[in-house]
Chains A and B, each alone.
Chain A
Amino acid sequence: MKRRGAMARGAMKSAHPLPKKMAGTAALVVALVPALAQAAKEYNLQAPVTPIATQIFDLHVYIMWICVVIFVGVFSVMFYSIFAHRKSKGHQAAQFHENTLVEVVWTVIPFLILVFMAVPATRTILAMKDTAVPDLTVKITGSQWKWSYDYLDHGFGYYSNLKTPVAQIEEGEPKGEHYLLEVDEPMVVPAGKKIRLLITSSDVIHAWFLPAAGVQQDAIPGFVRDDWMKFDKTGTFRGQCAKICGKEHGYMPIVVEVKSADDYAKWLAEHKKAALAAADDPNKTWDVKELIARGEKVYAANCASCHQPTGKGVAGAFPALDGSKVVTGPKDDQIKTVLNGVVRNGQPTAMVAWKSTLSDIDIAAVVTYTRNSWSNHTGEVIQPAEVKADRS
C-alpha cells in the first residue's frame, strides 16, 4: 500500500503530470485486482474439486484478465479524452470522421483475441462431453421439489429431501450453518472415480447444478441427458436446482458426499442390504392397508403431477380420477388402462403405458389406492396376481 501511495504522490509532483498519473492509476488497478481475487472466495467461482471445474476456474480467470486489460485500455483512452478534450479547457474539435486503416485494425484485433479465448474453451468442452467408460453410473431424477438418486449398477435408489426446518424458513428462527443446502440423504460417491450421471425429470424441467464440480445439466421430462464428474478429494459439496420449476424452486438442494473408496464400499453395502430387505416377496398376499399405503406413494411419484394429489385432475387436460367411470367401473378395465395407457386415434396420449415402468405390486397398489380414495369407495382390493393375469 505504502509503495503505491508513494508512486501516486510522486506522479503528482512531476512536470508532466498526466501520463505518469495514468501510470499510477494503472499500477493501482493492477495491484488491486489480485488482492481482490484473494480477498474472499465470495468474489470468485467456488473452489474447484474436479479436474473439469479446475479447468473452468482457470479459463474464467484467464478470460477475466483479458477483459480487464482491454477494459482498462479502452477506458483509459476515453477518460483521458474526457479529461483533455473538453471545451472548458479550450480544446478545439478536430473534424476527422473516418480512417480505414484504424477501422480495419480494430476489427481484426478483437477477432484475434477471440481466437485465443476460443481454443482453451473448445478443449474444455470436448473434455466435459466425454462421458465414456465410467466407473459408476447414477441416475438423477428431478421432481417437484426433490431429487432422487438411483444407483443403477447396484439396484437401489432413494429420494433426497430438504432438511431445513420450516421454522427457520418462515418463522425467523436462527438459520443453521447449511440453511437451505442440507438434505436428509445426500448423494454419495467415491473420490477418484469417474461417475456418469444420467439426468432426467418426472414433471417439469429442473437443473442439477453442483458449482464446485463444474456440473450443470437440465433435467428434462421425457429425455435422459448425461454428464460426468470425478472428484479429486473427499468432502461434502452443495448446490441447488438451477432451473425455475415452480413454487419450491428455491428449496431443492443438492448435496454430494464424496467418500474414500473404503467408506464408500461400507456405505454401499449398508444400502444394498437395506434395499434387499425391502424387496418384495412375490408370493405374498397383500392386505388392503399395505396396498393403500404403498399405492399412495406410487400415486404421488407417478400420477399426481397430472391427476393431482386431490384426484381432481386438471380440467381440460388431465381427467379426474375422483368419481371417474374407469376407476369406479370394472377393475380389469382400470388395470388395463394403467398397463397399456390410453391410445386415441392411434396416437399415444399423456396417459402413457406403465407396464414397463411399474411392477405388478405397484400397479395393484395404485389401483387399489385410487379405487378407495377421495369419494371412490369400491372397497375392492387388487392383488399383484390379478395384474399379472392382465398383462398379455
Chain B
Amino acid sequence: MSSIPHDHAAGHGVDHEHAHHPGGIMRWITTTNHKDIGTLYLWFSFIMFLVGGVMALAIRAELFQPGLQLVEPEFFNQLNTVHGLVMIFGAIMPAAVGFANWQVPLMIGAPDMAFARMNNWSFWLLPFAAVLLLSSFIVPGGAASAGWTLYPPLSVQTGMGMDLTIFAVHIMGASSIMGSINIITTILNMRAPGMTMMKMPLFVWTWLITAYLLIAVMPVLAGAVTMLLTDRHFGTSFFNAAGGGDPVLFQHIFWFFGHPEVYIMILPSFGIVSTIIPAFARKPLFGYASMVYATGSIAILSFLVWAHHMFTVGMPAAGQVFFMYVTMLIAVPTAVKVFNWVATMWKGSMTFETPMLFAIGFIFMFTVGGFTGLVLSLVPVDIVLHDTYYVVAHFHYVLVAGSLFAFFGGIYYWLPKWSGRMYDETLGKWHFWTSFVFFNITFFPMHFLGLAGMPRRVPDYATQFTDWNEVASIGAFGFGLSQLIFLYAVLKAIRSGPPAPARPWEGSDTLDIRDPAAGELKRIYLKRNERLMMEHATRRERPVPAQRGANMRTALILLSIAVVLFGGVIAAGYSGGSTAGIGVLGFAIIGFLLVAILRNVRR
C-alpha cells in the first residue's frame, strides 16, 4: 500500500514538508491527511469486496447444480450471511466514505476534514471490525447464519459467531457515525468563501444527505442488535413472544434502519454519476436544483417505506396499502434523476472513456433495478416474489450495477487527479465491458428464477431451476475474474502510468460546473483549491480557533442526536414495541432531517 505514489499529485514531487512525517507503514497508521485516509478507505473496501466476492463465488459454485456438492447447508447459510454483511458494511459503505474523504474537502475548498484525527480513528476501527466479523467463521458454531438481516428468533438460536457479528456491527456503526459527523461538519462549516449550499457540486450534496441518513439510522441498527444481544444473553424478551415480546418488532426496527441504508449506499453514487456525465457530455448538469430536491425527497421518503420489506408478515390491509403508496412515490424523484441525466447527455458533445461507460452502464442497469423495485412495491405481486431470487436480482441490479459501477466510474475519473498518473484506457474498457456482460449473465436470469418461485438463501433447489442457475454461476465467475482487470489497471496506473495532465478530462470542471459565467467565485475558489491541491494538503493550514469551536458545536449536536436515537430505539423496544413508540421516533427523525435540510438550503 505504501507504494501508492501520492507525491505525484498534480505533477509535484516529494516536497520538503514531507520530511516531518513518518514514512512506511507508520505513515498510514498515523495519517490525518484526508487524501491518505480516503486511499485507505478505498483499498480496505476493495479488499473486502474481494473477500465478499470469494464468498459469493462459493455460493454460486454450490448452486451450479442441484444437490449438495461443495458445502454443507450450515456453512452455506454462513457464507450467505457474511457475504451480505461484508459487501454492505465492508465494501460499499467504506468505498463511499473513501470518495467523500478524497473529494469533499477538495470540492468545497476546505483544507482538510474538520476533525482530522477522528477521521483517522473512524478508518482504523474498520479493519478491527472486519477481523471480528470474519473470525466468526472459526469460533464454535461458525459465523452468523440467519441472513444479513439477522432476524430473531433464528439469530437468537445460533452460536457465538452471532455475538462477534453484533460487536462488529457496533464498531462499524461507530465508525460510520464518526465519519458522518466529520463530513457534515466539514460541509457546513468549512466551505470556501462564496460557495453557498446551492453552489456545491452535487456529489457534496448527496454526501451531505447521506451523512444525515447515517446519523439517523446507524444508532437505530445499533439499538436493534443490542436488543438482540440482551435477548441472547441477559434474559430480556424484546423479540420473544413467550416473554411478551414480538419477533416482528425486530424487523420493524431493522428495516427502519435498512431502507435508509439502501439510499446511503446509492446516493453517493448518484453524486458521482452527476459529476461524470456532464464532464463527458461537455455540458452542464441538467436540473441541478431538482437533483438536490429529488435527493432530499428520496431521503425523507426512505423513512416512511420500511415495511415494504415485510409485506408477508401479515400486516393489516391499511398498512400494506400505506407502505405500497409511499414506496411507489419514491419512483418519482428517482425517475426525475434519470431524466436529468439523460437530458444532460442530450445535445452534448459526448466521448466515451471508461468513466463515462460506467456512468451510462449505471443509468441503464440502475433503471432496470428501479423498475423491478416498482414491481416489488405492489403488494400483491410482492407476495409471490418476496424472498425469491427476483429480490436477489433486484437488489444486485441497484447495488452492483448501481453503486459499484458508479464507484468504478469514479475511480477511473479521479485516479488521474489522485495519483497524478493516467490509467490504461484499453484495460478500463475491457473492465467495463466484461463486467457489464457478465453482470447481466449473472443476475438477469435470477429474475426468471424468482418468477418461477425459487426461494432465496437455499443451498439446493428443484430441478426445473437448474438451467438458469448454471447460467448465473458461469456469469458470476466471469464477473469475479473481470475485477482482476480492475486491480491490474489501477496498480499499473499508479506504478507506471504516464503522467496525467493537470486537467485530465477535457470537459471536467470540478468547480462550479453549472455556471461557467460565475467568474469571480470561480476565480477565488480555483485559486484556493488549486493551491491546496498543489500543497499536497499536508494540513499546514489548521482550522483557526473560532472555526474549531464552531466545528465542536456541530459535532456535539450531531453526536447527541445519535445517542438520543440509540436510547430511543431501546426505549421503544422496552415499551413493548408499541407502534406509537416507533411512530414517534420516526417522526422525530423526519423532523430532524427536515430541519437539517431546510436550514442548509437557507444558507
| A-to-B contact residues, CB < 8 Å | 41-46, 52-53, 55-56, 59-60, 63-64, 67, 70-71, 74-75, 77-78, 81-82, 85-88, 91-98, 102-103, 106-107, 110-111, 114, 117-118, 121-122, 124-126, 128-129, 168-170, 172, 175, 177-181, 199, 203-205, 207, 209, 211-212, 214-218, 220-223, 225-227, 238-251, 316-317, 347-350, 352
Are A220 and B248 interface neighbours, CB within 8 A? yes
In the complex, the chain A residue whose C-beta lies closest to that of B147 is: A244
Give A214 to B244 CA distance when docked, in angstroms: 32
Are A94 and B283 interface neighbours, CB within 8 A? yes
Are B351 and A86 interface neighbours, CB within 8 A? yes
Interface string of B281-298 (1 = CB under 8 A from A): 111111111100000000
Q: Which of B282, B347, B380, B453 meets A56, CB within 8 Å? A: B380
Interface string of B350-393 (1 = CB under 8 A from A): 11100000001001100110010011001111011011100000
Task: Determine which residue in A209, A214, A216 has the highest number of CB atoms from chain B within 10 A of its CB, and name it.
Answer: A216
Q: Which of B151, B282, B329, B381 meets A114, CB within 8 Å? A: B329
Chain A residues near B7 (CB, 8 Å)?
none
Give A357 to B463 CA distance when docked, in angstroms: 40
Are A93 and B232 interface neighbours, CB within 8 A? no
Q: Among B174-182, B317-325, B562-570, which stretch is in contact with chain A?
A: B317-325
Chain B residues near A42 (CB, 8 Å)?
448, 452, 464, 467-468
Are B312 and A207 interface neighbours, CB within 8 A? yes
Q: How many A-B residue pairs have CB under 8 A?
A: 295
Chain A residues near B73 (CB, 8 Å)?
247-251
Are B380 and A55 interface neighbours, CB within 8 A? yes
Chain B residues near A205 (CB, 8 Å)?
151, 153-154, 247
Are A82 and B380 interface neighbours, CB within 8 A? no
Give A59 to B384 CA distance when docked, in angstroms: 12
Are B328 and A117 interface neighbours, CB within 8 A? yes
Give A123 to B94 CA distance when docked, in angstroms: 43
Chain B residues near A103 (CB, 8 Å)?
287, 290, 336
Chain A residues near B324 (CB, 8 Å)?
118, 121-122, 125
Are A216 and B154 interface neighbours, CB within 8 A? no
In the complex, the chain B residue whose C-beta lies closest to that of A173 is: B67
In the complex, the chain B residue whose C-beta lies closest to that of A168 is: B67
| B-to-A contact residues, CB < 8 Å | 66-69, 72-74, 77, 145-147, 151-154, 156-157, 232-233, 235, 237, 240-244, 246-248, 281-290, 312-314, 316-317, 320-321, 324-325, 328-329, 331-332, 335-336, 338-339, 342-352, 360, 363-364, 367-368, 371, 374-375, 378-381, 383-384, 386-388, 448, 451-453, 455, 457-464, 467-468, 514, 516
Q: Which of A63, A98, A175, A180 meets B381, CB within 8 Å? A: A63
Give A87 to B505 CA distance when docked, in angstroms: 14
Are A347 and B243 interface neighbours, CB within 8 A? yes
Chain B residues near A248 (CB, 8 Å)?
73
Are A95 and B283 interface neighbours, CB within 8 A? yes
In the complex, the chain A residue whose C-beta lies closest to that of B280 is: A87
Using A240-B455, A244-B77, A350-B242 as known contacts, say yes or no to A214 and B67 having CB atoms under 8 A apart.
Answer: no
Chain A residues near B325 (CB, 8 Å)?
118
Are B339 and A97 interface neighbours, CB within 8 A? no
Give A242 to B147 CA distance when docked, in angstroms: 13
Are B378 and A121 interface neighbours, CB within 8 A? yes
* Residue contacts A-B, CB under 8 angstroms, 23 given: A45-B384, A74-B338, A75-B364, A78-B360, A78-B364, A87-B350, A88-B351, A97-B284, A98-B290, A121-B380, A128-B383, A129-B317, A180-B461, A214-B380, A215-B383, A216-B312, A222-B240, A223-B246, A225-B313, A243-B387, A249-B458, A316-B232, A348-B242
Are A245 and B154 interface neighbours, CB within 8 A? yes
Using A93-B281, A180-B462, A350-B242 as known contacts, say yes or no to A82 and B289 having CB atoms under 8 A apart.
Answer: no
Chain A residues near B360 (CB, 8 Å)?
78, 82
Chain A residues near B462 (CB, 8 Å)?
178-181, 238
Are A242 and B388 interface neighbours, CB within 8 A? yes
Chain B residues near A86 (CB, 8 Å)?
349-352
Chain A residues near B458 (CB, 8 Å)?
240, 249-250
Chain A residues near B344 (CB, 8 Å)?
97
Are A125 and B379 interface neighbours, CB within 8 A? yes
Give A77 to B348 CA distance when docked, in angstroms: 13
Chain B residues near A209 (CB, 8 Å)?
387, 453, 455
Task: Determine which residue in A211, A239, A245 has the highest number of CB atoms from chain B within 10 A of its CB, and name it.
Answer: A211
Chain B residues near A249 (CB, 8 Å)?
73, 77, 457-458
Give A311 to B343 CA distance when docked, in angstroms: 67
Since A87-B282, A95-B284, A215-B383 are in contact, a sample of 12 more A-B pairs with Cβ atoms closer than 8 Å, ordered by chain A residue number, is A42-B468, A74-B367, A110-B336, A121-B378, A122-B324, A129-B316, A129-B320, A209-B387, A221-B241, A223-B248, A250-B455, A347-B243
